[in-house]
């Protein structure tokens, strides 16, 4: 049909796309294929798959190559992961000239924006086992301290100023989202700041990692009626 649009999802995992994608194509995770990445130091590092892809699964580049060829699109005549690397970044002896690590700037840096009277400064981090698609599906890693659910961590002065105690349930509001977390005592967090981890389902609806947020203590009665 002319003008018809279809959503095709390529993933090694079953996830939210199953609810809206017209087609799901299984691809191999990086552990089952070869590839290249550029580290934050500008180092080009290549890797090989350590196990065979499961069943009829294929590396993502192979699936895209077949789709591109079937649709008659140019630029998909690649036969190996090395060909993909050369097509993507060319000569890898010196990639520094191709890197641009300048983050896009907002009109006013977050640290310099005036806070609302009831706002606190968020300090966001991404714990090691939250965001990686392999680690967050590993039962053994999810049983470690690094995988504990996010909390709203503050120092003692900020807790007192907010009328909170460690263990209180709080409603964290930021941008158009909110999250229910437990307050935690962390002497390392500066005054007027709250450390709230990102990369987790509990905090996925919140805003920027270093933008203002507000807290509201959740009363026991309100929690019971929710």
Average pLDDT over residues 186-202: 95
- In this prediction, residue 174 carries a pLDDT of 94
Q: pLDDT digits over 130-153, tens only?
A: 888 888 888 999 999 889 999 999
- In this prediction, residue 56 carries a pLDDT of 85
Name every residue whose Cβ is closer than 8 Å to that of residue 47 and which is 6 or more positions away in sequence.
30, 34, 35, 36, 37
Summary mean pLDDT of the chain? 85
Q: pLDDT digits over 161-177, tens only?
A: 999 999 999 999 998 89
Domain ranges within the chain, ordered by starting residue: 8-97, 110-225
C-alpha–C-alpha distance, residues 139 and 152, integer Å: 24
Q: pLDDT digits over 102-132, tens only?
A: 666 555 454 455 555 568 999 999 998 888 8
If you search the block for the tokens 């907002």, which residue do you land on? 106
Taking 60 as the threshold, does the pLDDT of residue 223 lie above it? no
∠ CA 181-184-189 to the nearest 5 degrees? Answer: 115
C-alpha–C-alpha distance, residues 206 and 198, integer Å: 8
Nearest 5°: phi and psi at 171?
Answer: -100, 115
pTM above 0.85, yes or no: no
| 110-225 fold | Barwin-like endoglucanases (2.40.40)
- In this prediction, residue 204 carries a pLDDT of 92
Model confidence at 50, pLDDT cuts 50, 70, 90, reads confident
């Amino acid at each position: 049909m002319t003008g018809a649009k279809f959503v095709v999802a390529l993933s090694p995992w079953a996830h939210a796309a199953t609810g809206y994608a017209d087609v799901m194509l299984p691809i191999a995770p990086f552990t089952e294929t070869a590839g290249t990445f550029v580290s934050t130091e500008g180092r080009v590092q290549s890797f090989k798959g350590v196990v065979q892809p499961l069943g009829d699964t294929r590396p993502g580049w192979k699936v895209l190559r077949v789709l591109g060829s079937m649709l008659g699109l140019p630029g998909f005549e690649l036969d190996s992961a090395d060909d993909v690397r050369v097509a993507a970044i060319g000569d890898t002896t010196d990639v520094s000239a191709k890197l641009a690590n300048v983050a896009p700037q907002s009109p006013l840096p977050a640290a310099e924006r005036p806070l609302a009277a009831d706002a606190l400064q968020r300090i966001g981090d991404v714990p090691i086992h939250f965001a990686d698609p392999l680690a967050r599906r590993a039962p053994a890693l999810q049983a470690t301290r690094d995988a504990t659910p996010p909390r709203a961590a503050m120092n003692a002065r900020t807790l007192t100023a907010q009328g909170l105690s460690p263990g209180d349930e709080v409603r964290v509001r930021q941008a158009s989202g909110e999250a229910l977390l437990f307050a935690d005592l962390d002497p390392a967090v500066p005054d007027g700041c709250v450390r709230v981890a990102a990369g987790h389902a509990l905090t996925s609806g919140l805003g920027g990692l270093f933008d203002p947020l507000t807290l509201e203590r959740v009363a026991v009665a309100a929690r019971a009626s929710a």
